[in-house]
Structure 1
Amino acid sequence: MAVAPKFAAHVLGSVAHPVHTLEIYLDYVCPFSAKLFKRVYNDVKPIIDSKFPNKVQIIFRQQVQPWHPSSTLTHEAALAVERVHPGSFWKYSAAIFENQVDFFDVNVVNETRNATYKRLSALAAPLGVDEQQVYRLLAVADKPVNGAYNSGNQVTNDLKLHVKAARLVGVHVSPTVIFDGIMDNSISSGWDVDQWGEWLVKNVV
């Protein structure tokens, strides 16, 4: 599936004419998504760059899991960072996954939505991203906006597009991997580097 130009930062690296596309559907507060992200980001991408240069593009796909109430907030934060500084999208995603426990149910249940947004915005600061700009995109008004009580924030419509995209291809769980347009349920978040290496040899032409 194509990536809209305004979401181009979801593509890891730059491959002008990729032969293959690896799409990883991830939820920022899913432990298994964290394992898959870290493996792909830290280990699989370097293998692809060294052994299969210019053949595989990797795309991050937002997979909001509504049974984790803070899932929506974390995905919104990543989209806000992409708006403010696209080049930091993957690094910020890594920061969320590294600190994901801070956004699990027990760690958000007693704070307001905007307070969670402030903590998520603060994660962007060490990356050189203006956290105040990120927060301004995320903050939700506490009074009606032009008569609307469900006004959302400035990235609400962006998130809707990502949710629609996942529904279109029938993705239900995280993590899910789609390779060249086909869901590959053989890929596990628990795969080690050797297993990924074997899979790449078999599937990358």
Structure 2
Amino acid sequence: MALAPKFVGQKFTAATSAPTLHTLELYLDYVCPFSLKMFNTVYASVFPLIRQKYASKVQILFRQQIQPWHPSSTLTHEAGVAVLRIEPSKFWEFSKALFDDAKSFYDVNVVNETRNQTYQRLSKIGAKVGLDEQKMFELLKISDKSAEDGSLNIGNGVTNDLKVLVKMNRMQGVHVTPTVVFDGVVENGISSSFSADQWEEWLEKNVV
């Protein structure tokens, strides 16, 4: 599936000039422990492998998959969208920092804080990777004042972009996280527990 230019930060590619032949799409949720496992292995082991052996042959797309039964899932992915708006090149680094602190956004750990307090914590994670904390919070925060037309569902600075991402994922029919799509087809052979060696073996068999 295509990726709009404004979401280009979600793409990892090591290619410099030659075309990429294959695409791995990772549908991940920031508050899903299984997504955490997959992301960490991909970030630490698969990225270097692609740079070394498959730079011109495969790219990886991070598909932000909101799991609405965890209300904070929406908030964390809004933060991901804010990063794409502010500095797309920081998206993967921010995602690593957020996954490292993901448990602090699980249900039990957010139930007693306000939405804007959660956004403040997410903005501080952005600051850790060099983003403007205040600029990020301004995109995320929700006003307690109605819009000029009296509307109370006013959203925030990333609502419209988030709607596009949700629509794209629904068109693919993805439900569980993580889900891996290889060249447009769901690849059920890859699990969140894949080790670095298993990823290397899979790439050797499937990337030509």
Tell me the residue number matched to 2:6: 6
Residue 91 of structure 2 corresponds to residue 101 of structure 1: no
Tell me how far apart the structure 2 counterparts of residues 99 and 162 of structure 1 sit (CA, whole Å): 23
Aligned residue runs from structure 1 range 32-111, under 5 A? 32-111=34-113
Tell me how far apart the structure 2 counterparts of residues 196 and 13 of structure 1 sit (CA, whole Å): 17
Deviation at 1:13, TM superposition (A): 3.2
Contact 2:14 2:50 in 1 (8 A): no
Does the residue aligned with 1:123 lie in a helix, a strand or coil?
Answer: helix
Deviation at 1:53, TM superposition (A): 2.1
Deviating above 2 A after TM superposition, structure 1's stretches of 4 or more consecutive aligned residues are: 13-16
Deviation at 1:84, TM superposition (A): 1.0
**Uncovered stretches (5+) of structure 2, i.e. residues with no partner:** none
**Uncovered stretches (5+) of structure 1, i.e. residues with no partner:** none
Deviation at 1:143, TM superposition (A): 1.5
How many residues are paired up? Answer: 205
Tell me the residue number matched to 2:116: 114
> Given residue 201 of structure 1, which amino acid in structure 2 is its aligned partner?
E
CA deviations on 1:65-90 (whole Å, 9 max, x unpaired) are 00111000000001101211111110
Does the residue aligned with 1:117 lie in a helix, a strand or coil?
Answer: helix
Does the residue aligned with 2:199 lie in a helix, a strand or coil?
Answer: helix
Tell me the residue number matched to 2:153: 150
Tell me the residue number matched to 1:200: 203
What TM-score do the two structures reach when normalised by structure 1? 0.98
Tell me the residue number matched to 2:138: 136
Tell me how far apart the structure 2 counterparts of residues 154 and 51 of structure 1 sit (CA, whole Å): 40
* Coordinate RMSD, CA, aligned: 0.9
Contact 2:140 2:158 in 1 (8 A): yes
Deviation at 1:12, TM superposition (A): 1.1
Deviation at 1:51, TM superposition (A): 1.4
Deviation at 1:148, TM superposition (A): 1.0
What TM-score do the two structures reach when normalised by structure 2? 0.96
Deviation at 1:126, TM superposition (A): 1.7
Q: Report % sequence identity.
A: 58
Contact 2:116 2:142 in 1 (8 A): yes
CA deviations on 1:82-130 (whole Å, 9 max, x unpaired) are 2111111100000110000010011110010000000000001121110
Does the residue aligned with 1:25 lie in a helix, a strand or coil?
Answer: strand
> Given residue 72 of structure 1, which amino acid in structure 2 is its aligned partner?
T
Tell me how far apart the structure 1 counterparts of residues 12 and 102 of structure 2 sit (CA, whole Å): 21
Residue 168 of structure 2 corresponds to residue 165 of structure 1: yes
Deviation at 1:140, TM superposition (A): 0.5
Tell me how far apart the structure 1 counterparts of residues 165 and 55 of structure 2 sit (CA, whole Å): 28
Tell me how far apart the structure 2 counterparts of residues 104 and 126 of structure 1 sit (CA, whole Å): 20
Residue 186 of structure 2 corresponds to residue 186 of structure 1: no
Deviation at 1:45, TM superposition (A): 1.3
Contact 2:94 2:129 in 1 (8 A): yes
Tell me how far apart the structure 1 counterparts of residues 118 and 35 of structure 2 sit (CA, whole Å): 20
